[in-house]
Structure 1
């Protein structure tokens, strides 16, 4: 369920103008931090950036970290979403001094307290839509409902390597206010993602 979440890896483009800066460049797909060579960034990349994701599925956590040169149009951000079985957080952090991203990658702690918002909860593999009478109680800053469909699953499991993705659909809680804030929103233009919708939750009376 919710296998698409592996796809929430850092599909981000950076553009900006300004001074050169030296940044650590590295990545790991299985760890909470990475270290690597120092790179002198192009003149239009004015920040060092760290992108970290944590995915918890059925209580088992996996982490990915990317450090690189970035542009100032990409602001610090935290993306969260949660289903009954899976929680994912993607956090982007900027800094402005040489090698400032060599520090360990951090994740801002989440709040687990119910916030009074509920969302429809469903997942359908090989489908462009899903609906259910089942709801999930949202927590912390996740006070919106996410609907997403597209080529984001691989037989209901996490897609890896060059294996072809198949269409699936899901609904659950998220913390973003609009679809364009989703980490994979750019894939709507490529057709990989068919639809991302953010809606108000069902509030307790």
Structure 2
């Protein structure tokens, strides 16, 4: 994952190196483990965070991934799922707040494949602009909101953006920002309650 951390003056950087929390900052897109020597977090971070996720495409076996970074404790303990197109993503967030600590990985429950009667517009695009599509996706299990998620990753002068629309659980509306070494990532979420799927009979009656 590519992310950006704003440069600050040498004096401020020296203070951060002395007083900031030290966290392991690393990522692995094909497994559940990663490790690097702990490094200083920016002053705004109060926790070392592990974000563990499993992605499944079209019902395939889930692919694990982990991201360890500096962030805020307000994200801790979140567990949720996101569904867009044929992709099903489950995410758990765990935290600790001492130097070089390792947050315990929160186990993910099996994917609930039961449709809950709610539907959302779905699309994805490698852009910061909202994507638009006539396609919809059926929400599963506890996915009780439609989410419009904009993700921005900055590294130096480079900026990478992604926009996703689909079904999600409430917890993902709280997912926010973090830093990974010299990279910063931010997310902006717009969450709304999805409409219920109308029955074929009601649709034929125009109701």
How many residue pairs get aligned? The number is 174
Aligned equivalents of 1:101, 1:80: Cα separation in 2: 23
- Tell me, what secondary structure is at the counterpart of 1:137? strand
Q: CA RMSD of the aligned region, Å?
A: 4.8
Q: Distance in 2 between matches of 1:140 and 1:71?
A: 28
Larger radius of gyration: 2
Measure, in 2, the Cα distance between the counterparts of 1:100 and 1:140: 33
- Aligned CA distance change for structure 1 residues 85 and 175 (closer, same or farther; 3 Å): same
Paired position in structure 1 for 2:169: 175
Give the match for residue 19 of structure 1: none
Distance in 2 of aligned mates of 1:116 and 1:162: 44
Indicate if the aligned counterparts of 1:178 and 1:197 stay in contact, CA closer than 8 A.
Answer: no
Instruction: Give deviations 1:53-74, integer Å, cap 9, x for gaps.
Output: 2233453643333568987555
**Secondary structure, counterpart of 1:107 in structure 2:** coil
From 161, 165, 168, the counterpart of 2:160:
165
- In terms of mean alpha carbon deviation, does 83-92 or 26-35 score higher? 26-35
- Paired residue for 1:203? 196
The TM-score normalised by the length of structure 1 is 0.56
Contact 1:75/1:93, CA 8 A, preserved across alignment: yes
Please list every run of 5 or more consecutive structure 1 residues that lacks an aligned counterpart in the other structure: 1-5, 12-22, 40-44, 153-158
Unaligned runs of 5+ in 2: 6-21, 40-44, 199-207
TM-score, structure 2 as length reference: 0.56
